Amino acid sequence: MGGASLSILSPSKPIPDPDGEDLQNPSEALLQAGTKNPISSAKPPTNAILFTFILLTTSVAIAASMAFAFLFFSSSSSSQSPPPSIPSIPLHLATRPLTRLNKPVVILISSDGFRFGYQFKTPTPNIARLIANGTEAETGLIPVFPTLTFPNHYSIATGLYTPFHGIINNRFVDPASGEVFTMRSHEPKWWLGEPIWVTVANHGLRAATYFWPGSEVKKGNWSCPSNFCQNYNNSVPFEERVDTILQYFDLPISEIPVFMTLYFEDPDYQGHQVGPDDPAITEAVGRIDRMIGRLIQGLEKRGMFEDVTIMLLGDHGMVGTCDKKLIFLEDLAPWIKLPSDWVMTITPVLSIRPPSGVSPSHVVDKMNEGLSSGKVGNGKNLRVFLKEDLPERLHYKASNRIPPIIGLLEEGFKVEQTRSNEQECGGAHGYDNAFFSMRSIFIAHGPQFARGRKVPSFENVEIYNLVTSILKIKGAPTNGTASFPNSILLQS
């Protein structure tokens, strides 16, 4: 901006005339005025003319230089001063008042497998806008264990650790009935706790879900209404998902859902195929940013962007895996044989349910003996526990759905039952949530969040209480901290 001003105002450039023609250089104008003086038609001596010319030229040059210097330094000092920083609103100040909406509205967006740090892989101007004008978990959002899609999405929705909401894995067996839970199981018996859309409906308010694990399950006053609850279909274009959410804002103000979810499979899909460091991840992150931009622009067009609370997060991170990081259960045969029907899940969370009559403690002891022997490839990278002996921080024991034996892998390692000729390098998640690679993002923008604020990382079980606090409704009991919303939200 300073450079452009200088090029226009510099006396060495023609000065545009208001009528469109360029005025002459000031030195030339003065010279012409001296040589075309109408008062005297007599020709002055050559030396006098030359002296007069030099004197006038020097005077003009000095004046122009002084003017140029003044403009330059004043312009430079203006252009070189740092841009005004976005003020961080003190927590004692009130939330920003709503102008178009008559009540708070929250859009909860999940970008599956968006590992913390992905936002720096490529320019993400729309995500950056939310960060600059909102609140961000400075070193990412901490998932619950196991760091898998269904357990974490449902923890976000309920505020409960996995044993308490019942979705202990993406796939598991109920030990009492023998029935198998899969990601297509929508029977209420599997889904414990009270997800946020049910809480909203129980308060007589409207919620809308565009994909979220558990949202198709009918619970309480939530019936998954056809106009406001989409059955999962991964072939639906991301643009269509965003546009559907935007259409809700075209409803009469009193009919706009106060809570909405929006889900994208990327960049988890690419992460599994190629790991976290491939150009495909960069492309996927850019695509997510464009979808956020599409949402922002649509809300701005409706004059509602500043009224709406947007929470952008992920369910877990991603880490690279490769064949050299494999552990084969068949290699434990000298110590203990592990039939495949004992193994409930194999990687990255190894879970084993021995038949009745086989002591889980004995199995754990023999497995650890073999793994620590130095004779099992990569054995030191797998630790096996009775579930009651797992670290308390994992919160992964208080359910009979969890098998009695759990194996924890080091970052990037995988377990297989037997050797095969398949060669594989890709990405995985599900590991200990203490690994930084498992962290995702949390970015919130809206009337209740300070601009440009960074907060310490926190577990995703706190999200439920955040939403109920913003919506000013009473939530169900959770594993979250009751006071957490007070530490992150502006006071209303």
Q: Burial letters for 406-415: b for 16+ Cβ neighbours within 10 Å, e otherwise? A: bbbbbbbbbb
- Helix, strand or coil, per DSSP, at residue 259: strand
| Alpha carbon distances (Å) from 191 to 120, 416, 436 | 36, 29, 29
Catalytic residue among 124, 135, 149, 347: 149
List all residues 6 or more positions away from 47 whose beta carbon is below 8 Å from its beta carbon: none
Please report the DSSP string for 43-93 in residue order.
Answer: PPPHHHHHHHHHHHHHHHHHHHHHHHHHHHHHHHHHHHSPPPPPPPPPTTS
**In the chain, helix, strand, coil percent, each to 5?**
35, 15, 45
149 classed as catalytic: yes
CA 420 → CA 73, 121, 200, 323, 330, distances in Å? Answer: 72, 35, 50, 11, 12
Asked if 410 and 384 touch (Cβ cutoff 8 Å), the reply is no
Give the C-alpha distances (Å, rounded to integers) separating 33 from 30, 66, 101: 5, 23, 67
Beta bridge pairs of residue 94: 491
Write out the two tokens for 179: 């029935």
Residue 287's SS3 state is helix
Q: Is 135 helix (H, G, I), strand (E, B) or coil?
A: strand
**How far apart are the C-alpha atoms of 84 and 148, rounded to whole Å?**
41
Best CA proximity match to 473, nearest among 159, 95, 160, 201 = 201
**What are the residue numbers of the active site?**
149
